[in-house]
Structure 1
C-alpha cells in the first residue's frame, strides 16, 4: 500500500515522467483527473488498467480430456492460497480443440492472473512464470480466470503488487456481481481499475524494495520456526 502511493521509495526528479511513457504507448492518452489523483507524486500519472495492457481478458470454457495429459488448463485452484501458482491440480484440454485457442491465450511469464469467480477465491491475484510448466508445451486459462498482460514498457511486477494491495483488493470486492454463493468479477471492473503509475525506473525500484522487504520477512519467519 505504501508502494502504490509513492511512499516506499524516494522519487527521482531525473526519471522520465510516467505521462511521457503513456503518451508513447498511446499519443491520444488523456490522464484521469480528479482531486484524489492530484495527491500522487509529481512524475506519476493516473490511468486505467486497460490503458497499459496488451491483453486483458477472461479465459475460455475448455473442452476437457480425461485421457490426454498434454495441454493443461489454468483454473482458480492453480492460484495457490500461499501465493504461488501450480499446475499439479490442473485438468487438460481435449487435443482436438487446440486450434480454437489463439496464441494470445497461452500464458506468458509476467502475466497477472486474477480469479474472477467463486466465493472465497474471487480476486485472488498471482504472478505467472513459465517455470511452472515443466515439460508441458503451454497452458491456457479457463473462463474463471482473468489474464492481465501489461505492455512491454510497463513493469508487470509493479502492477502485480498494485493489484495485490489491500486498497485494490477492496475495490474488487466492492464491485463484485452475482449472488452470495457465486460472486463474479466482470472484466470491465478490471479494465476501469485506476492505476497510479510511477516512472518506469521508479516502478523497478519499488519492485526491488518490495522483494528486499519480503526476503527479510521470510528470513525472520524461518528464524522463528528454527
Structure 2
C-alpha cells in the first residue's frame, strides 16, 4: 500500500494521473498574475518532461512565505502558545501538538504574524538524521483550543499564494522523487543533517494549470481513500 501511494504521487507529478484539458488556462498566466516579472524555467533544467501546457518554475516562485521558523524562548508554566517542533510532524503521518512546548508569553511581540501557521502550510522538518525532510500539511483544525502555533527553527514553512493549490504542492513535496532530492542536498554531519532554505527555494517545480491541480488532488484523495480502506480491512 505504501508503494502504491508512492506510485500514485509519481504519476501525479509527471502529469499521468489525470488527463490534460486543452481548455484549461495556461499556468503561466496564473504565474504572471502572481508575479508580472515571472520568467519560466526551461524544461532542460530538470530530469523529466512535463505535459504540454505545464510550466517549470521554482518553488520560491509559488510562495508568499518560505522560511524556517525561529528559536523560541520557552515557558515552563504558561501553556497558551504552542511551538511547532519536528516531533509535531508525526512519523506515522499527520500532525499533533500534544508534545509541543510553549512560548514565553512575554516574547509574543517578537513573532511577526506571518510565522503563525495557517491552513495549507506545508511543513518540512529541516534538521536531524531520521526526521529531516518529513513533510506534512497543516490545517488550523490541529490547533484545537490554542489561539495559534509558531514553528521553531528546525521546521521550514512553505506557504503558497492563495491562488495555488497547496495540496498539490504537498503531494509534489511528499513524492519519492522530491524526498530523494532533499536527501541528496542535505548539509552538515551524519548526526546533524540540515536542510537549508535555499534548497527549497531553488527546488524545480512542474506547475500544471490550476484546474488540473484540483483534478490531481481530487484523484489522489480518491485513490488514497481506497488504499486506506484496504489497509484498515487488513488490520482487522
Q: Which residue of 16, 22, 39 corresponds with 2:25?
A: 16
Q: In the alignment, what sits opposite 1:137?
A: 147
Give the SS at the match of 1:77.
helix
- TM-score of the pair, normalised by structure 1: 0.98
For residues 87-106 of structure 1, the aligned pairs below 5 Å read: 87-106=97-116
1:202 is aligned to 2:208: no
Deviation sequence 1:151-205 (CA, Å, 0-9, x none): 0110000000000000001111010000000000000000000000000000000
Q: Which residue of 172, 181, 190 corresponds with 2:200?
A: 190
Q: Which residue of 53, 56, 68 corresponds with 1:46?
A: 56
Q: In the alignment, what sits opposite 2:226?
A: 216
Q: Which residue of 32, 44, 58 corresponds with 2:41?
A: 32
- Distance between the aligned counterparts of 2:215 and 2:60, measured in 1? 23
Q: Which residue of 110, 120, 128 corresponds with 2:130?
A: 120
- Distance between the aligned counterparts of 1:5 and 1:32, measured in 2? 16
Go from structure 1 to structure 2 and tell me whether the alpha carbon gap of 1:147 and 1:77 turns closer, same or farther (over 3 Å shift): same
Q: In the alignment, what sits opposite 1:68?
A: 78
- Distance between the aligned counterparts of 2:233 and 2:189, measured in 1? 44
Deviates further, 214-223 or 119-128: 214-223
Post-superposition offset of 1:39:
2.1
Q: What number of residue pairs does the alignment pair up?
A: 226
- Distance between the aligned counterparts of 2:26 and 2:73, measured in 1? 46
1:86 is aligned to 2:96: yes
Deviation sequence 1:50-104 (CA, Å, 0-9, x none): 0010000000000000000000000000000111000000000000000000000
Give the SS at the match of 1:60.
coil
C-alpha root-mean-square deviation of aligned residues, in Å?
1.0
Post-superposition offset of 1:36:
5.8
- Which residues of structure 2 form unaligned runs of 5+? 1-9
Post-superposition offset of 1:206:
0.2
1:174 is aligned to 2:184: yes
- Distance between the aligned counterparts of 2:232 and 2:129, measured in 1? 32
Q: In the alignment, what sits opposite 2:163?
A: 153
Go from structure 1 to structure 2 and tell me whether the alpha carbon gap of 1:190 and 1:21 turns closer, same or farther (over 3 Å shift): same
Deviates further, 160-169 or 24-33: 24-33
Post-superposition offset of 1:224:
1.4
Q: In the alignment, what sits opposite 2:7?
A: none
1:108 is aligned to 2:133: no
Task: Show structure 1 runs of 4+ deviating over 4 A.
Answer: none
- Distance between the aligned counterparts of 1:105 and 1:35, measured in 2? 35
- TM-score of the pair, normalised by structure 2: 0.94
